[in-house]
Amino acid sequence: MHFIIGLLAVGQILFGLNVFNVAASAMHEILAAVLFGSGSICLALAFLIYKSGKPS
């Protein structure tokens, strides 16, 4: 489970960086920041699940 969450988190971060690179307005930059932030939180969640050692 931690692998799937981590993979989705990396996808969110990469998509956020991509949106930021092609941003045409401030709304796109806000969307990119939200995507990057939520991806970082999901990556931290995946790490915590991994370190908990509980099988999932």
Nearest to 15 by CA among 28, 1, 24, 5: 28
Distance of CA 1 to the CA centre of its chain: 15
| Overall residue count recorded for the chain in this entry | 56
**Using the 8-state DSSP alphabet, how is residue 15 labeled?**
H
23: left (phi over 0), alpha (psi -120 to 50) or beta: beta
Any idea where the domains of the chain sit in the sequence? 2-52
Query: Predicted confidence band at 2 (pLDDT cuts at 50, 70, 90)?
Result: confident
pLDDT number for residue 55? 66
pLDDT number for residue 39? 95
Compute the average pLDDT of residues 33-37. Answer: 94
Query: Predicted confidence band at 53 (pLDDT cuts at 50, 70, 90)?
Result: confident
- Cβ(6)–Cβ(43) below 8 Å: yes
Secondary structure (3-state) at 42: helix
Query: Predicted confidence band at 1 (pLDDT cuts at 50, 70, 90)?
Result: confident
